[in-house]
Structure 1
Amino acid sequence: MPSDSQPLASHQIADRIGFARLTKRAFDGENLFPLWQEMMDKVDAGTATAGEQLDLALLTQLFGHKQAGLSVQTETLAQHQLFRSPCASAQPRMRVLALAADIDMGGNTPIEFLLETSGIELLTLYVVDGVPLPDPLPPHDVAIVIASDSDECRSALAAIEARAETWPAPLLNAPKLIRHLDRDKLYRLIGDVDGLDIPATIPVSRDALVAVAEGRAALQDATDGVAFPVIVRPRGSHAGFGLARIESCATLAAYLAERDEPEYFVARYVDYASDDGLFRKYRIVVVDGKPYACHMAIADRWDIWYLNAGMAQSASKRLEEAAFFHTFDFGFARRHRTALDGMIERIGLDYFTIDCAQTPQGDLLVFEIDNTAVVHNMDSPEVYPYKPPQMTKIFGAFAAMLERHVAARRQSVA
C-alpha cells in the first residue's frame, strides 16, 4: 500500500488485463481471437466486468475495427470510469492516478508501458462527458494527465483543468500545456527557437484544396504563402494516416479523390535526406526536463516511421541505432542542445516525446511533439539487444520523476 494513500474501498475499481499486456501479446503474434470470443460470450451473458469490457474494446481496435471498439468503450465508460492495471508488486510503494479521455487506443499516453515493472500502482480514471469527476477523488500520491491535444479530448482536459488548482496531489502534464501540442499551434510556440526547423502547419478546408486542385485558386493563397511541394494530412491524424507529399495540382487532385475528410493540415516539404540518400527519423523522450534516445528509424523514403523502416531486417541499421543510443548524451543531445533546451522550456510538460530529424544544414527538424507516442520494451532482445537497457533507463527516469514530485509534496505539507 502506498504510504500516504488511503484504502480504495469506497471507490469502485475494475481490474483489467490492460493496454501493455494485450498489446504485447498482439505484437508477439499471439492469436487473441479466443480471448476476444470469451469476453464477447461474457458480454452476451451479462457477466462481463467493466474491466473485461474495456479490454474487449481494446482487442476489437487491435483487430482493426476502430469504430466498433470505440462503441464498446464508450458504452463501458458511461457506467464505469475507474480501472486498475496489473502491478509488478503486491505492495506498491506509490499510487499513480492517470487521467484519460474516451478516445481510440492511440489517444492517451500508454503509461502502462512506463510503469509495468516499476512496482508502482496505476489507476486510470476516464474523464467522460456527462459524468463529473469523483469528489473526493480516488486516493493517490501523484496524478498525470494522459489525454492528448485532440478534439475528442477537449472536454476532458477542460474538466481536469477546472479542478487543477485544488488537486489534492501533484498533477503532472497540466491540461493547459497539453493544449499547445496540436500541429497548428506547436510551430507558433517553438518556431523561433535557435537551431530548430519546424515548418508552419496551416489548417486548410477541403473546399479550399479542391479549388487549388482545379486551378481556381493558388496554393499560396490558401496556405499563407506555402508553395509546392507540400506535406498534406487529414487534420487530427497520426502515425502517417493520410500523409502524402504533394508536388502539383494534379497530384493534389488525385489525393483528394481518395479522401473525404473536411479539414487538412498543409506544411512545406523539407528534404532531410542524409548524404547517403537515406532518411533518418528519431524519437526523443523527455522526462522531467531531460531528453533520452528512444529509437532511430532509417529508410530510403521520406514518409518514415519505425514499423516501415525495415530495422529488424538490417543489421547495419540496428548497429547505427545502437550507436545513436550509446552516444546520445555526448553526440546528438550535445549537438542539438540549444534546440532541445529551448523546446523543453517552451513545452513545459513533465513527460513528452519529440519525433524529429536533422536537416542537411544541421538544424533539428521537428515533425511532431506529443504526450501519447508509444514508448515500449516489446522488441525482441535477441534482435535488439541494445534496447532493453535504454528502455529501462527511460522507465527508471519516469518513476524517479513521480517519486520526486511526491517527496516534494510531502515536504511542503510537513
Structure 2
Amino acid sequence: MNMPCIEFQPRATTAVALPPLMGLARLMAMAFQGTDLIPLAQTLIARATDDEHDANALMDLSTILLLQGLREVGLATQDQAIDCHRVYHLPADHAPALRLLAVMTPGDLMTNAPLAFLAERSDVALTMLYVRPGEALPTWLPPHDALWIAVSESDPVRGLLEDLSQACTGWGPSVINHPDRTLRTARTEACAVLQGVPGLYIPDTIRANRSMLQQLVRCEAAPSRWLSDGDWPLIVRPVDSHAGHGLEKVSSPCALAQYLATMPDAEFFLSPFIDYASADGQFRKFRVVLVDGVPYAVHLGVSSHWMVHYLNAGMTECAAKRAEEERFMADFDTGFARRHAAALQGISERIGLDYLVIDCAEMPTGELLVFEVDPGAAVHSMDPPDLFPYKRPAMEKVRAAFRALLGRAVAARSASPA
C-alpha cells in the first residue's frame, strides 16, 4: 500500500476547553485496584451527550469499555472519538522538558504500545496521533521533540506499518521503533529472524489454515510435514490472538478436531509444545524489556500450569513466589541478564527495535526459550506496593532508560541537518 499524503490538521477546538484526558495508565490502574468504573463511565456518557465533540470523554469511555471486556462497543466508541479528533494529550507530571509524539492506530488495548505507563511521573508530555489503516498519512505532525511509532504488529495493520515505514524516511532520526523493524515481530517472522542466535531457542512456528489442520485431524499429514521439530502435542492459537485467548495445547488429532469445532477462525499459528518446566515441576515465564539493547526485568510469573499469565499465576497469594520474583529482579544484572547475554544481544541486533518486550523462559538445558517479542506488551508498576515493594524500583529503572532513550533521540534530531 502506497498512498499519497494529505493535509491532516486537527479540527478547531471550541472556546471552552474540554476536561483533560485521563488516559490508559490512570484508568487501568483504577481497574487494577478494583475501583468501580461505572460511575465514571456514566459521567463520561453525560459529557459526550452534552457535547458530541468531547473527544476526551469518548476516548476515556472507550478505554473503560475495553477494560470491562466490552470490545465491540468499546471500539465503536473509540471510532467516534477519533472521528472527532485525531490528537490527544497527556501532560507531563513534572515541568515538561520533552514532548513525545506517539503515532497510534485504532484498536483494543494491545494494538499500541502503552507508553503512558512509561511517561507517568516524569517530565515527558505525551501526545498521541491516531491514523487509520488504508487512509493517507498526514503531512502535518503535532509539535514534538521525539517521535515513537507505537503501533504493534498484527495482520490488520501490516499495510499501515509499511506506509509508516516510508513516511519515516522524511521524519528524521528522532523516530523511535521504526515500523519496518516492528514488522519483524510477527510470530512467523520472529521465528525465522531469531533462528541460530547463540543460546536461544524459539520453536518453529507456521501459519496454518483450517484445511491444513484438518489434514492433521484426518491423519493425512504429520506435524513434521510443516514443523521441523514438530510432533504431538502442539500449541495452536488463532492469528492475532493475545493474552492466551484461544491458545490451547492439543495432544492428538482428536483433541485438535475438538478445538476446531469451537473456533471459527480461518487461520492459526501452529508450533510444537515445549515442556519448559523446572526441576520442581513449576513453569516460570519471564518478561524482559530491551531499551536500546540493554535488558531490564519486568516480572516473573511462577505457575504449576504451562500457560503462565502473571495475573493468574497466584503471585498475590503466594509469598514464596513473590520472594523468588524479588530475587530475580534484585540479581537480574548478574544473574538472568548475564546468563542470557548472548541471546538477548542477538534478539536486539536481529529485531533492531529501540524498545522491545520479550516473554521467555529458561529451558532445562539452559537456553533462553522465546515465546514472543512485542514492542506493545505492557510494562507497568500497578501491583500493590505492600505486596510487591520491589516492583516500583525495577520499574523506575525502566523509566529512567526510557527517558534516556528519548534524550538520545532528541540529540540525534538536533544534530541532523535541517
Q: Aligning the two structures, in what range does the TM-score lie when normalised by the shorter sequence? A: over 0.9
Q: In the alignment, which residue of structure 1 is the partner of 2:384? A: 380
Of 104, 124, 130, 1:126 maps to 130
Q: In the alignment, which residue of structure 1 is the partner of 2:150? A: 146
Percent identical among aligned pairs is 41
Structure 1 residues 338 and 130, CA gap change in structure 2 (3 angstroms)? closer
Of 24, 44, 51, 2:49 maps to 44
Secondary structure of 1:312's partner? coil
**Greater CA drift, 393-402 or 73-82:** 73-82
Matched, 1:159 2:163: yes
Secondary structure of 2:104's partner? strand
- For the Cα contact (< 8 Å) 2:10–2:87, is it kept in 1? no
Matched, 1:399 2:400: no
- For the Cα contact (< 8 Å) 1:213–1:249, is it kept in 2? yes
Q: In the alignment, which residue of structure 2 is the partner of 1:215? A: 219
Take 1:235 and 1:153, find their aligned partners in 2: how far apart are those partners?
Answer: 13
Matched, 1:54 2:59: yes
Q: In the alignment, which residue of structure 2 is the partner of 1:26? A: 31
- For the Cα contact (< 8 Å) 1:115–1:395, is it kept in 2? yes
Q: In the alignment, which residue of structure 1 is the partner of 2:266? A: 262
Give the Å deviation of 1:12: 5.5
- For the Cα contact (< 8 Å) 1:16–1:51, is it kept in 2? yes
Q: In the alignment, which residue of structure 1 is the partner of 2:305? A: 301
AA in 2 matched with 1:383:
L
Take 1:48 and 1:81, find their aligned partners in 2: how far apart are those partners?
Answer: 12
| Structure 1 residues 134-283: aligned runs within 5 Å | 134-168=138-172, 170-221=174-225, 223=227, 226-283=230-287
Take 1:267 and 1:141, find their aligned partners in 2: how far apart are those partners?
Answer: 42
Secondary structure of 1:355's partner? strand
Take 2:96 and 2:106, find their aligned partners in 1: how far apart are those partners?
Answer: 27
Matched, 1:320 2:324: yes
Of 59, 70, 88, 2:75 maps to 70
Give the Å deviation of 1:319: 0.6
Question: Deviations 1:372-410 (Å, cap 9, x if unpaired)?
Answer: 111001111100011110001101110111012212322
- For the Cα contact (< 8 Å) 2:204–2:227, is it kept in 1? no
Q: In the alignment, which residue of structure 2 is the partner of 1:348? A: 352
- For the Cα contact (< 8 Å) 2:209–2:268, is it kept in 1? yes
AA in 1 matched with 2:148:
I
Give the Å deviation of 1:314: 0.8
Q: In the alignment, which residue of structure 1 is the partner of 2:114? A: 110
Q: What value does the CA root-mean-square deviation take over the aligned residues?
A: 1.9
AA in 2 matched with 1:150:
S
- For the Cα contact (< 8 Å) 2:114–2:378, is it kept in 1? yes
Take 1:47 and 1:79, find their aligned partners in 2: how far apart are those partners?
Answer: 8
Structure 1 residues 175 and 218, CA gap change in structure 2 (3 angstroms)? same
- For the Cα contact (< 8 Å) 1:298–1:311, is it kept in 2? yes
Q: In the alignment, which residue of structure 2 is the partner of 1:84? A: 89
Structure 1 residues 130 and 357, CA gap change in structure 2 (3 angstroms)? closer
Structure 1 residues 411 and 219, CA gap change in structure 2 (3 angstroms)? closer
Structure 1 residues 187 and 130, CA gap change in structure 2 (3 angstroms)? closer
Give the Å deviation of 1:72: 1.4
Take 1:141 and 1:12, find their aligned partners in 2: how far apart are those partners?
Answer: 23
Give the Å deviation of 1:222: 5.2
Take 1:300 and 1:67, find their aligned partners in 2: how far apart are those partners?
Answer: 34
Question: Deviations 1:72-123 (Å, cap 9, x if unpaired)?
Answer: 112322332110014202x300100001111111110000000011111100
Secondary structure of 2:27's partner? helix
Take 1:242 and 1:381, find their aligned partners in 2: how far apart are those partners?
Answer: 32
Secondary structure of 2:185's partner? coil
AA in 2 matched with 1:402:
L
- For the Cα contact (< 8 Å) 2:204–2:228, is it kept in 1? no
Structure 1 residues 12 and 232, CA gap change in structure 2 (3 angstroms)? farther
Matched, 1:16 2:21: yes
Q: TM-score, normalising length from structure 1? A: 0.93
